[in-house]
Amino acid sequence: MIAGPTATGKSRLAMELAVELETEIISADSRLIYREMDIGTDKPSESDLKKAPHHLINLVNPDQSFNAGDYKREASSLLARLDQKDPSRPVIMAGGTGLYIKAVLYGLWDGPPADPLLRARFREEEEASKGSLYRRLTEIDPVSAAKIHPNDQPKMIRALEVFSLTGNPISFFHGLHRFQEARRPFILIGLKSGRETLYRQINLRVEEMIERGWVEEVKALMEKGYHEKLPSMRSLGYNILCSYLRGMVSLDEAILMIKRDSRRYAKRQLTWFNRDPHIRWVEREDAIGLIRETVRQASWRQAGVLIQK
């Protein structure tokens, strides 16, 4: 696994490794699962797909639900097929969703199934009184409330749903599980980048996406009825461009906001991955050498590589 914040070049490194090792790439990005959302998610290009096969992208439409449990089932099935096909080849995963990655490597707590009626009731409650869900979560599960952002409605609703269905806070079940045991052996490498360099790369990436037609992509999605309240359209930058297209902010303001949110997202990624004691942080130019040495010393049945975007 090669981890680190967004815009540090992990996707390109994944491609280089896949071509060199003649293997395939498994996406571990919660945004790449959506069809028609290509530019703002930095989805692999047609030329990239020809160089190395990619899996677990374009799985659902923007208005369809897909969670970490769904991802774990899809990824586990795929990994089993790839192992059966050729157990000597490496397994490379590339993506930016930490929970997806932990679900594959360490397992995932299997909670109660979603209750659509209960979730609808929670959403109506939040619309009637903004902040009510977070206040309730703080009362019943302060541990989870301290970890969930007040604007992260899906996670708040899931936590309240688990409490309503089981009588126990979701933090109680997470405490029992704690991702204690790795399900698959792996190599975990983190790409280091100085703050100024990282922020410059983030700014350039956002500008390039705008130049490639990100605004037009969001406009096309909105014309098809996909709106900013959908989980998919709350993805980084998409909701802000929806606001621009509705005339709520200027394009310059929207770009500045996307850059700001991208920097904040990078900080959250660093916080997440720093919690994993298995990570070895290295400079990008040292990563390939380290992986090559691991390939030389061990079979891929004993160690897989996961690349975190």
Shared domain check, 160 and 33: no
Q: Residue 151: which domain range?
A: 116-177
Together in a domain, 183 and 164: no
CB contact at 8 A, 150 and 270: no
- pLDDT greater than 70 at residue 3: no
Q: How far apart are alpha carbons 211 and 164 in whole angstroms?
A: 46
User: Is 145 found in the same domain as 62?
Assistant: no
| Local confidence band at 90 (pLDDT 50, 70, 90 cut-offs) | confident
The predicted structure's pLDDT at residue 110: 67
Is the pLDDT confidence value at 36 over 80? yes
Residue 103 sits in the same domain as residue 128: no
Return the H-helix or E-strand segment holding 2. Answer: strand 2-3
Q: Which helix (H) or strand (E) segment is 142 a member of?
A: helix 142-147
| Mean pLDDT calculated for residue range 79-89 | 84
CATH number of the CATH domain containing 160: 1.10.20.140
pLDDT, mean of residues 80-107: 82
Q: What's 251's domain CATH number? A: 3.40.50.300
Beta carbons of 159 and 144 less than 8 angstroms apart: yes
Does residue 202 share a domain with residue 93? yes
Least confident of 78-92, 147-161, 178-192: 178-192
Residues 6+ apart with CB under 8 A from 28: 56, 71, 75, 93, 94, 95, 96, 97, 100, 101, 104, 306, 308, 309
Do residues 32 and 92 share a domain?
Answer: yes
Answer with the one of 150, 177, 204 that is the final residue of a domain.
177
* Residue 183 to residue 103: CA distance in whole angstroms: 9
Q: Give CA–CA dist 161/155, Å, rounded.
A: 10
Query: What pTM was estimated for this model as a whole?
Result: 0.77
Are residues 281 and 216 part of one domain?
yes
Q: Phi and psi (nearest 5°) for 3?
A: -110, 180
In 3D space, the residue among 77, 109, 113 whose CA is nearest the CA of residue 175 turns out to be: 109
Cβ neighbours for 114, distance < 8 A, ≥ 6 positions apart:
65, 158, 161
Confidence of residue 17 (pLDDT cuts 50, 70, 90): confident
Query: Residues 92, 145: one domain?
Result: no
pLDDT at 183: 57
pLDDT-wise least confident of 105-109, 157-161, 215-219: 105-109
pLDDT > 70 fraction of the chain, expressed in percent and rounded: 88
Q: CA of 24: how far to CAs of 21, 53, 93, 242, 285, in Å? A: 9, 5, 9, 34, 21
Helices and strands: H and E segment counts in the chain = 14, 8
Number of domains in the chain: 2
Does 189 lie in the same domain as 240? yes
Q: Within this chain, do residues 73 and 126 fall inside the same structural domain, yes or no?
A: no
**Orientation angle between helical segments 214-223 and 195-211, nearest 10 degrees:** 60
Residue where one domain finishes, among candidates 130, 158, 177: 177
In this structure, the answer to whether residues 267 and 162 fall within a common structural domain is no
Instruction: Please give the mean pLDDT across all residues of the chain.
Output: 85
Are 156 and 49 found together in one domain?
no
